[in-house]
Amino acid sequence: MTTIDKFEFPDELYYTKEHIWARVEGNVATIGISQFGAELAGEIVYVEIPMVGREVKQGEPFMSMESGKWVGRVKAPISGKIVEANEEIEWESTLVNEDPYGQGWLAKIEMADASQLDSVLRADSKEFAAMIAADREKYDK
């Protein structure tokens, strides 16, 4: 586990610059928003989950969430097909803030090309630490 101040980042996950994490099991990536990303979002009041079967492209928005009348989009960390979406969070969106790496997961993507994850950061890398430091300064966190 990498810890930066009060924020935790499990080392086994991949992280995008938009603070989306991916956990790889076989050819499926479970994705969610990092604890830091959830803190930036504030109290999430609604999550629009994607349709199962939908094709998504790395870096393109495919679902959305709302906090404080603010709508933000979630960009896919990897291309592929949605094979499962967390229906729980549509009714209980606070799970995303409270348990971002567990019950607050967003969706599962059957990866089209796992090598795309090579371009996504790991928590124990220098680039990741630099990115978090820059964003903490930018967002006063």
Partner 1 sequence: MKLYHLKHVPWLDSQLLYHAMPRVGLEGILILAPAEPYVCIGFHQDLMQDVDVAYCQEHDIPIFRREVGGGAVYLDGNQIFYQIVVHKDNPIAHGDKARFYERLLQPVAEAYDDLGVPARYRPINDIITTAGRKISGNGAATIGDYVILVGNLIADFDYESMAHVLRVPDEKFRDKIFKSMRQNLTTLKRETGRMPEWDEMTKPLLARFEKVLGPLEPAALPHAVREKAKALKPLFLSEEWLHKKGRRRPGRDVKIAAGVNVIQRLHKAPGGLLRATIEVKGDRLTSVSLSGDFFAYPEEAISKLESALSGASLEQVESIATDFYGHGGIETPGVTTEDWLKVLVG
- Name the minimum Å distance from CB 124 to partner 1: 26
Q: Which is nearer to partner 1, 53 or 68 (CB)?
A: 68
Q: Nearer to partner 1 by C-beta: 25 or 138?
A: 138
Q: Give the separation between CA 124 and CA 138, rounded to whole angstroms.
A: 21
CB of 70 to partner 1, least distance (A): 4
d(CA 22, CA 34) in angstroms, rounded, equals 10
Which positions touch partner 1 (CB under 8 A)? 40-42, 46, 48, 64, 66-73, 90, 138-141
CB crowding 65-96: b at 16 or more within 10 Å, else e: bebeeeebebbbbbbbebbebbeebeeebebb
Tokens of 65: 């969430």
> Which residues, listed in sequence order, are joined to residue 20 by a DSSP beta bridge?
33
Provide, rounded to whole angstroms, the least separation between the CB of residue 83 and partner 1.
19
- Give the nearer residue to partner 1 in terms of CB position, either 23 or 66: 66
Q: Give the nearer residue to partner 1 in terms of CB position, either 8 or 48.
A: 48
